Structure 1
């Protein structure tokens, strides 16, 4: 089987548990070496990157090769709106920041990633 390339797009906080469950089940089904999994958070969902409970699960998944991405535009907007201020300096070390989440989604789809939006 060819390595699966999957992009999970989470832009609603209430979808995180479903997304993390889907990722866990995918890895259990195909094995961590058989999937290239990227999780992109934008909008309000970037706040999960400071949620201790979710961070623990994400860290475990990142150790299995899952890549987590945050949208810089969303981080800035959340701070400007006084919702929560998260910047690149206080994100977990396993989270990468991209300038615009929408651009990253398009790039990943052009690279052949399957798009999953829980």
Structure 2
């Protein structure tokens, strides 16, 4: 029993040294590694600001391109409120959004937002999907264990 106690104390004392060594040599840190076979991430877009829309789409693309997540990442983009601008046909985001969908990203438009803003499906890109409520979708995805991103 004493041996186990001494080993435990020795290990716990060496952990700060390991952390300190890593901090002293940041080149030895290459980022976290995934321990999950299947990662899931849901993004929320609720702004019509061009910079925020482009940043959200770029963040999604960056995540898809991360070599640590290649082949084991599922992504959903939930659009609600002012974010509807990102899915409207008359905006300049259609090509970027279609490219994300072609890579497997689920594009989910909040139907509550559409009713409130009197926007029809004809006003939006033809390839988007619909959910009854954007907030509800986010709640459900988080309960299912999806990581939540709101750039």
What is the CA deviation profile of residues 50-102 of structure 1, one whole-angstrom value per residue up to 9, with x for unaligned ones? Answer: 144211000011000001111111111112xxxxxx32244323211111111
Please identify runs of 4+ aligned residues in structure 1 that moved more than 6 A.
Answer: none
User: 3-state DSSP class of the match of 1:19?
Assistant: helix
Match of 2:140 in 1: 107
Q: Gaps spanning 5+ residues in structure 1: where?
A: 80-85
Q: How big is the alpha-carbon RMSD for the aligned residues of Structure 1 and Structure 2?
A: 1.4
1:3, distance to aligned residue in structure 2 (A): 1.8
TM-score (norm 2): 0.68
Name the CA distance, whole Å, in 2 between partners of 1:97 and 1:87: 11
Q: Gaps spanning 5+ residues in structure 2: where?
A: 1-33
Q: Which has the higher contact order (CA 8 A, sep 6+)?
A: 1
TM-score (norm 1): 0.86
Match of 1:20 in 2: 57
Higher strand fraction (1 or 2): 1
Match of 2:39 in 1: 4
